[in-house]
Structure 1
Amino acid sequence: MGLNKTIQNLQNGHAQLLDMMILMVDENRLPQTEVSYPKWPFEDALFRQIIELIPSPSKIKNAVFVDTIPGLKALITPVVTGSSKPFYLIGGVLVEEGTVEIVKKYLLEHPEGVHFVDHLEMFPIVSKEEKEEILSAFQQFSESIQSIYQSQQRVDVYQRKTAKTEWVAEQISNERLNLELLLHQFKELRAELDFIGLAVQKEHEKYVIQHFLDSSHAAVKGKEITLGEGFLGQVIVTEEYSYWTNIQEDPRLLPYKECGLFPRSLFCQPIKIGGQMNALLFGGSEKEEAQFDVTDIRHLASLIGIFLNQQTLKDSLNNHLLQLSTLNEIFSAMTNVENMKRVLYILIDMGMNILSGSFACVLYKDMQEESKLSILSRGMKNEFLNHYGRDLGKRYFGRENVEGANGVFYQHENGSLVYEMPITFRNQVFGVLSIGVQNEEEVIPYIPFLSSIGIAGGISISLLEKEHAPQSDEKMIRVLTKLLEKQQPAKYEQSMQAIELVGGFGQQMGLAAEQIHAIKNAIVLSSYEEEIWHDSIVEKETKDLMEQYYRADEVDHVAHKILLILLHHTGVKLDPRMKDDLLLHKFEEWESRSHMVEMVIPLEEQVAAGLEEEEIKEKLNLSNREMEVLAQVLNGLNNRDIAQSLFISDHTVKNHMTNILQKLGVTDRAQAIAKVYQMGYTPK
């Protein structure tokens, strides 16, 4: 039997017992049951008219008689259902013994009463004693209905709890389940809870409120809880469930009141995993001294403990998978990558992810220009990066051999702690990976892995240096790049920045290595008139792309579109055809997400003093005159200038140069200069 039918039957029985009509309404006088015990068809409508005349039902707190029209009495009592708004039981109409003639006279004399005169004799006449008995019985009837509602609510709560428990049990292994959702489900079941939160351990004896749910939007999320301080800090010490009431004036609440939280009662349950406390579950009420079900709270704490333990295991598994995927990616890059920056990007990103670092950088020696060091970073401020990069260069590139070099912790003068891992192979340093960390303890478990990726990165770069064969157009592109640097420094800087963006975005868009290479070439070539380079460029990809750039009526190739977008970075006005192109929006989104900082640090300023003249002379087995000629070459003099400076013939200079090139194992003057500088010798 349903709840409504049970209440209707109970109401019908009491109406017959008390010999009066009864109806249950809400605060707006809308019926919640049907009228019980009307003896005549018109009595139902008559009773409803009486109900409309009852003044302010919401102000009535107990069972009382009220005069709807003087002399015509109705019974009314509230029914507390447990919901936010009560119902009202109304019974009647009754006339008190000895007042019939007076009531009749009043009804005849007043317009609002004339309608009831003809029905006056049908209303029960009761004595004062009978009125008291009816009032008492009506009150008991109201309490019976309240008990029915409360019992039903307990059943509903139990069913909801059972349903929620079953739901949690089913969802505990579901990846979509999270602590926020778990707390929300619990709060929904507990009307006495105004707020509930979870503080998770971040450091030894320090916890941070990570989750918080309430209705007033108090800003307590992110607040720290320290051992022994305040209510929650006390539980860190005792490691036992605690409950406090009448705390609204307690000074320990001041930090929370400043955040908009004003509890009157509060509980806190520690959550342990493997015997160690990892979190604090807390909650409370701002409206009253609420009583909380300790059993339910401990069940929730157990579920959260299971969830946190599961997340820890999952994070550990993900970390191992991340390490494996990182190594796989680096070794894959050895055979697929076009230049070593791709490897360095991997090291930066993976290093930060593994250690949850706040910043990271790689200082490295460029394969093409070994006279400078470059630095890539993420999360570092430029002023710190410049100073730190110079210091890093002095410490790692000022020595020839780094046999057995391991990662080290380094405390910078501004207080930042970093972990520095050399990128090496066969005692040669190719770069240094530096990651900002909070403390040494969090790094120690990952040191073997970081050493592995440092060696893998070194192998990758070493292979790239050996296997990097210049493309047929590379020499021409280098010349034009140098010319651009001398003649238009600003344009050169912009072009280099655009070229840096090609690789990452091109790969994002699925371009082949040949297409990316062609775009890089085209960025340089676009700065010159076509006749300057046309007869010297032979690579088909580059020539086709430049043909599209100069002559295409439509932009329908991805490589062409990317070229136009990147030329905009070099100061060229954006091609109108690209204004609303979807690829432009993808590039802008990718660029904002992948922003990296690169700074150049001249190697000469940071590398320790190299070989002296006698040392280089002895190492290369040069004669005194050959050493003099080599010094003049390093100073930029041509053969004629050298002959005049040393008072010898041009032919003699050529002979000396032939001997010098043979002893250095190179074929031209440029290679000779590069090798001597690489050996560490700088002419006075």
Structure 2
Amino acid sequence: MSLNRAIVETILNLYSERLGLTLYVVNRSGKPVVEPIGIDEMFHELVRRSDAKTEQDFAHYIHDYQFPDRVTAFDFIPGLFSFVRPFSMGNYILFAGTAAEPDVKKKLPEVLRQRYGDGRWETLTAATADWTDDQERRWTSELERAALLLEQSAGGQLPLINSMEGREPDRTAFLQRASGAGSVFDFAGIAEEIDDDLFSITDVQGTAAALAESRFRSGEGFLGRALLGKHESIWEHVQADSRGSLFREKGIDAAYLYCCPITHRDGSPLLFFAGTETSAPSSAAGEQGRLLASMLGTSELLASLKLENEAYRVQLHSLMDLCMTMTYAGDVRKIMYMLVDIGLQLTESTFSYMFVQSPLTGRMQLVSRGRQQPLLEQYAKEAAGRYFHADGYAGTLPSVQLMQDGSAVIECPFLHRGELIGVYGVDGGSLVGEELEKLLAFLQSLSVLGAISLQRAMQRWDDVEEQVITVLESAAAEFDPDARTRSALLTRTADRVLSVMDVPEETVHTVLTVCRLSSYSSLYLSTVLKTRETADAAGEARQLFLYPESWRSASTAAKLIALLFAFAEEEDSTAAKELGIDPELTELFCGIVENHVFQEAEFELDGKQEEAESFSILDADLPLSPREKEVLDQLVKGSTNKEIAGTLFISDHTVKNHITKIFQKLNVADRAQAISKVYQLIYQR
């Protein structure tokens, strides 16, 4: 049996992305089927090395070890683990990545150097995944699935795997092959949720084609029962069971049924099912069903990951590149031209514009591109009147307005600390539904970062470095709420500690800057910040976590940063003490954080406490149904979709549908905007 190189690459790409391990397939002679695939640099380094010792080690594993037909973890060297899984009757071997025991990471570089000679062993060890029991279980489970796919690709299932390649798998072709010649199944199908716990068979191939468009609820019959659990279900003698009524009603004499719930790329549940008529299949039917469900599920997951990752990366990189450029530009007109230009690029629209009010003259500055300029200029003047009217501007969120000729305009106010800086607009006529929502969300993020750059340019700030730091801090908070929370905790703690300690002003600035930019790597900071102190201190601090004994050569700023990061993990000084660096500084640090606990409160001078006015979303005048108000009430409280589903006793998919409708009715693009709108209602009462 031979392996198809393209199929092997598809499978290895999928699982290396999911596991964060490098995967490598060789034949029994040690010749690679494909080059190693993945981001595990340690494994790449060991495979790439051409010295005799490395080749001798790999030959030893391939020829001398009798690995069982399951995923096995073994010590590549003491403390450094890899996985191995023979398949296709032992003709091929799947190697998977490296992971290191946390306790031996300190000694590992020297062991590697002694065994394989000089190399970047400290850096490679630091980047190697930690070996834990939970990780081992996860890796083992996923690699068994990868080996099953590789096994089937070598065992005649190439057409099936081919049909599931790509971002948009051909489900019909997949089901036809799953139930066609050479398969143990007579029919195969997929059911999707179309409403709250209501499912429809959207595609079915083989002898059960009559089931197409049939509907059932969760818990109803064999198919509904299979959806109640998150694992596969197998039934025999289906024709004699009352739960098989759906099949009998359609004239299908089902004898055996395999069902497995999987997850659609949008997070909603799918049900894959396959079965036989008249007679029970061979004992391999369960394994075949498991393979098919695994292929369908992994295909959906890969498509989801690719779509989410690509969209996020493009959006984040676009924003960051633009904002960094605007920050260094330092000129209002240059920034306006950049914004107008990116507006046309983003939407492929016919026009884009930006107007701001000069803080010196009070006059409006307008920059625009595209469309008939007189019409656009007239509209911009009217919009400026609405926003900069003496009674206040029209709103704080992006909104859709109409021009004189009836075409749609997406307007986005730029505010900085409550002050209206200007208004940005793009042609929104060709965007509807989800695409329009995505653009509104993007513009909301852009407005936060763009307003900072414009405000600083208007004030002619000379400290460009501070501008960059502020923009980076705002970008991290905008895209990652957890980063904002972590950064806020680090900064508050640093302020508390540094206000008591006697350290130079330069050290204070460096420590606070690293805390504000805690979600960025030291390598990235070294590329965007002109001064090296911040990046160097961040890099030194991270090294202290790997090699605490090196604290004697570290700067005071780096040691304080390391202590702050350790403390922030659990908000407990124990972690800082266990780091094991500079006993004197650690004792001083822990004494401060343990004895300086701050609380905030508001009170009246006469001693009377004013009770906050109660406000219930359920009683609010909102264009929402009672159930949608309940969902919004939970959303404002910070509940996740899963928590909302549990509180209201509805499915996760139903929660997603309600939130989508809430966003549409409130004319908002995401949770942040929805919550912001609720708070506006509270303060406008």
Fold-level similarity (TM above 0.5): no
With normalisation by structure 2, the TM-score equals 0.28
Give me the TM-score of the superposition, normalised by structure 1: 0.28
Compare CA radii of gyration and give the structure with the larger one: 1
